[in-house]
Chains A and B, each alone.
Chain A
């Protein structure tokens, strides 16, 4: 009490006191709390800190919080400061705030009522314009384990799941498992959020949401279907931790959805047989019969040979590069995926990567070797080339040595056994005795598995019997016993040798083994066996239990074979056993006495005693402890422990027949691959702006379309009104008669150009890979000026959107440039430089034009991926002397390509693009444009759409797809009386829709 008073006084000097409490840290915790309890009450201890927290200086607060956090870190109780700390939750200083968060999360569970005081601050934080603050508010809010706020958390998560910032959405994904562990009843609502976030297209979110999926609803594999391909494609860009989780989940998914690639290798051959009959039937003269057969055979062939689902292939292909990851967990995840899913021939690729991991930290080695050990049992060939990488160094930790030994043993076969045994010989000399024992076991296993070396191994082991180290000898005895059981006749001298060892060896297991051997094969050593029993009877009372049991066994067996010499000894041993402390031994003695010593009461069994004891026993099979471990998913904790860990998801067996693969089809194949990794990423980051949050997308998009005027000074959009002059039938679009009539081309240009245009067009058209789904361009081409001949000093450039598929890259819009050299001198080296683009956009430049002589003209085609936006592509057009800043800006109508739809398809698609995606306008048609023909004419001129056949003559329908993302664009013009009409555009991309409506209105009303 006195001491307490002294300390309380010292509270007046806060710093001295802190010093005292600092030093006490160095005691063990137990002492620590005792000291507190007896010296001072828990409360006055932190008065100084409270004062500092209550002050209005941030520096003091910060200092106090730092000390409190240090206390928490040391595991000391700081919960009594809760009220003082929680007041500072709204502190302006961000570091104080963060530390308060740390404190709150740690103690909120214990002080639920007080913790509620802070909730409103977080709710405010959730609305902050700074995404970091929004995210961290959500993080803390969801980390406070207070059941009362579950509804608030739920609301916050739902809101954050549709936040603009992918970082906040990621935080929302993290919050889902937190809420789930707090209140599992929210599962259904959380699954909805997970479903929504799974559809997210950013790499940032993908890993976190799959993690949430695994924790909340791993059984809802159906949620993955629609996102499967996206996840596969995103995988390489997801952060490494997310990759691990996604790969593990996809492994399980693939096991439920695809067929075993290894199951019907034999069936494949049968399929080949089927082919043969197919060729035979070729010779058949009767055509009908042949057709029948053909159909039959092809049906058969369809069913039988294994064809890998393209989605299965996609997964294997996209995960393979990750074997090169620097993160061992990722490499392991891919390795297990290949092990569980890949066809036999392809699994080999993982061996090299796994061997590489053996260079890593010893903990990593430990886990990898465990998995390699399992793999080597199933697929030995895979690791055989890397045998030497598993050789053991004296510096390896013992647990690594033993695992390497396991792998070496599994890899042993007839061809490499001699090198392996030579290696084992050096190991036996190691100083690490546990390791030597394991090596002896390994030699034993090699000897049982490979018959050729059995005798060599046995001899080697017998030599070890004279080793000075008892452990080594004992282990050898145990292994020799197992080996001898296979062929005892030949080795009676070894048995004799071992009998002599009983005097020296003290290890119980070894003694027991020797006694068992002598008993079992007492007929081979008739003279020695009774003597051994005699010695053992003498030392019986001092032996270990397992040895005692074997002495009884030995006595019984000798009694049966050689009762003359051993009758008394046996009686003696049995009597000793009768009074043993261990009941097992007493039981055994009683049982054996009844069985072997004939009395008048003894039953029928004693007649068979000899048969019972000296029956031929099967030799033990030495098996790897890793056998059958592969029913656990490799790389998992459960596999490592060889026991099911909590939350482990079984790896399902392959299905008999594959479930419907079409479930993975996504309506709009918006996932487009780009060649460069960066570009792809940029796009991904951008996407959510368009597709995710409907509420917020409005303003963003209008901002988009507002940026028309990026320095496009030299572009004058000269719209020349087209009139039909020349009709041309396009080759690709011969779907319906109606179509052909209307798909006329109109051209009105300077005479000089026409020839060249046609020439270049025919060149473009003759290119082989015109996309199948799209339909040829169907209206006249408008020319836009890129460079006026005055600014261009004689060089004038015009461009038009040729509406051809741009063959090097299907996602690009082909821009046809027409260069005319009006100057008096030649222009050389015409090329593009310094392309300035909005993110995601790409340009495929035209090949450099080396020479454009004076007065001549030429054309070139370049490709631009506008990313479905009307932003201009700015670049410099360079000649050998000058550079001109120019830009190409596409009218919205050129950002799409026609698509052929039937009327029904059109209606179906349209019905899916209602609501926000539909824009309608009423208009009065231009006087010249009141008939169907003219309408079609004008619409197809303004936008690269194709006509959709229609039953009613009051309606004209058009369909197309945006070039980059392939979103459908549907347009309908419904005519009414007196030139009134209604224009409807349905498009997922609302910006495109709105702009297209504007353009079409203009085209139809003027």
Chain B
């Protein structure tokens, strides 16, 4: 399926290649570079490129292109999903997935790629299994290895490969048994000029960090499971149980994993946590434009709105912006025309605002497009949909685990049109 993999950095250099079948010359990437040149933005490179003898399927993560070479029919999503899984694994192993990290750990990367694909077909992609085969590099382990001469490579078939629960290793032991769950919700919204909501939906995930000894069997139940309209599970979740009782029953993988991602039905009205008052105008004839932006909290259920970051792509005609923030700092990049305003926390008593003028290119006509405003924010200790975890129970093990749950709301793709 996947013939070869090339890793290309932002400046267009191939810094790693791996072949699973016979070697494909790296000149095949020329087609990719061509497409890269044609695309104005890095993310506009088409994910699938057809060349005379091969097909190139690529993903862009952390400013690295992962280019897979395919020779015959294969579902493109299969390859794309796999490449993302590779990136996730690198991130899991090295903390970050940058060119430097990959170059530093090139041997581990190679060993990983060797295990993840056999003849181009995925073999082991479950991080728990991989970690038994190839231990992640840590400073301690590197030192121990140099002293004792032991290796980073497991000698036994990982227990997970054959077991009922391939995602969990056996023989896990912790002195502190803990299970933490983060319910993180993101609001995707488009607000129109007049402030009314065009579309808004909530996407949520439950990320877990489970460090429990043995083979615990967990059940997690919600106060209001009906809220969840569409869900996708980690393979560990028993689907039947969810169908019948709306309870998440699972044997967790060891460590960090995403238990569930969900979508809150759009029938429910979505609370919009902030409002934006804006007045961005350009006058015909003059080389000045007015910029006036005020933020305020809306439906936040009494919680503070934090880490607010406003960004906006101003029209090409804008040369510079001379603005005055009531709080926080702003930057304007005259090359990319990107305005960002780091607001911080919104104080309901004293609403943050950003006012001032923009200078336009002399003689240029008034730009006829209005910029959209993108907002990022965080609200702690609240899931905006109102989702609540009822209880978490553990079966199968005797000890009492420490359990914790955290809620958070973020803005996802939150846009205000002006």
Contacts and interface: CB of A to CB of B under 8 A. Distances in A.
Contacts of A175: 119
Contact of A326 (B15, B230, B261, B316): B261
B75 interface: yes
A513 interface: no
Interface string A360-376: 01111011100000000
A367 B230 contact: no
Interface in B99-145: 106-107, 109-111, 114, 118-119, 121-123, 125-126
A230 to B, nearest CB: 18
B14 interface: yes
A361 B164 contact: no
Given A329-B77, A368-B77, A685-B162, A356 B230 contact: yes
A29 B30 CA distance: 14
B342 to A, nearest CB: 18
A430 B369 CA distance: 6
A635 interface: yes
Given A132-B156, A328-B81, A367-B80, A145 B22 contact: yes
Contacts of A70: 106-107
A108 to B, nearest CB: 10
A211 interface: yes
Contacts of B22: 109, 145
B234 A102 contact: no
B157 A167 contact: yes
B239 interface: yes
A460 to B, nearest CB: 15
Nearest to B166: A239
A306 to B, nearest CB: 28
A355 B263 CA distance: 10
Interface stretch (B175-183, B195-203, B272-280): B195-203
Interface in A382-433: 388-389, 391, 393-395, 397-399, 423, 426, 429-431
A358 to B, nearest CB: 10
B368 A468 contact: yes
Nearest to B165: A678
Given A94-B153, A332-B75, A635-B77, A74 B84 contact: no
A649 B40 CA distance: 36
A324 interface: yes
Contacts of A364: 77, 80-81, 84
Nearest to A62: B151
Interface in A737-795: none
Contacts of A366: 46-48
Contact of B157 (A135, A321, A368): A135
Contacts of A332: 75, 77
A189 interface: no
Given A132-B157, A645-B55, A646-B73, A393 B413 contact: yes
A359 B203 CA distance: 8
A363 B81 CA distance: 9
Contacts of A62: 151
A658 interface: no
Contacts of B111: 98-99, 102
Contact of B369 (A135, A423, A429, A675): A429
B153 A95 contact: yes
Given A70-B106, A181-B21, A324-B239, A356 B157 contact: no
A241 to B, nearest CB: 4
A920 B413 CA distance: 75
A643 B50 contact: yes
Of the listed residues A132, A142, A175, the one surrounded by the most CB atoms of chain B closer than 10 A to its CB is A132
Nearest to B19: A106
B94 to A, nearest CB: 15
Nearest to A392: B190
Contact of A327 (B81, B109, B153, B371): B81
Given A59-B149, A361-B80, A677-B238, A356 B232 contact: yes
Of the listed residues A131, A244, A352, A685, the one surrounded by the most CB atoms of chain B closer than 10 A to its CB is A244
A554 B316 CA distance: 39
A397 B413 CA distance: 13
Contacts of B152: 95
Interface residues of B, number: 100
Contacts of A399: 44, 46
Contact of B235 (A58, A132, A326, A648): A326
B23 interface: yes
A783 to B, nearest CB: 35
Interface in A475-493: none
Contacts of A277: none
A333 interface: yes
Contacts of A328: 77, 80-81
Interface string A634-666: 011110110101111100000000000000000
A329 B59 contact: no
A646 B71 contact: yes
B52 to A, nearest CB: 11
Chain B contact residues: helix, strand, loop or mixed: mixed
A394 B59 CA distance: 21
A316 to B, nearest CB: 16
Contacts of B26: 29, 75
B188 to A, nearest CB: 8
Contact of A362 (B16, B43, B234, B239): B43
B70 to A, nearest CB: 7
B80 A388 contact: no
B43 A391 contact: no
Contact of B151 (A93, A139, A641, A647): A93
A167 B162 contact: yes
Contacts of A28: 13
B190 A393 contact: yes
A430 to B, nearest CB: 6
A398 B41 contact: yes
Contacts of A397: 41, 43-44
Interface in B24-80: 26, 40-41, 43-44, 46-48, 50, 55, 58-61, 70-78, 80
A419 to B, nearest CB: 9
Interface in A128-174: 130-132, 135, 139, 142-143, 145, 165-167, 171, 174
B224 interface: no
Given A106-B23, A389-B199, A329 B81 contact: yes
A593 interface: no
Contacts of B71: 646-647
B258 interface: yes
A68 to B, nearest CB: 10
B151 A94 contact: yes
A678 to B, nearest CB: 5
Contact of A73 (B1, B16, B156, B368): B16
A353 interface: yes
Contact of B55 (A143, A637, A677): A637
A394 B372 contact: yes
Nearest to A139: B118
Contacts of B233: 324-326
Contacts of A248: 75
A256 to B, nearest CB: 18
Nearest to A681: B164
B230 A352 contact: yes
A324 B415 contact: no
Interface in A273-310: none
Interface string A329-368: 1011100000000000000000011011001011110111
16 contacts: A62-B151, A73-B17, A102-B114, A208-B121, A329-B77, A352-B229, A352-B230, A366-B47, A398-B41, A429-B370, A637-B73, A645-B55, A676-B240, A677-B239, A685-B162, A685-B163
Closest 8 CB pairs of A and B: A647-B72, A95-B151, A388-B199, A132-B157, A648-B73, A241-B122, A363-B47, A329-B77
Given A130-B157, A132-B156, A393-B372, 11 more contacts: A59-B149, A99-B107, A167-B157, A174-B121, A177-B119, A326-B233, A329-B82, A356-B263, A399-B46, A431-B316, A682-B164
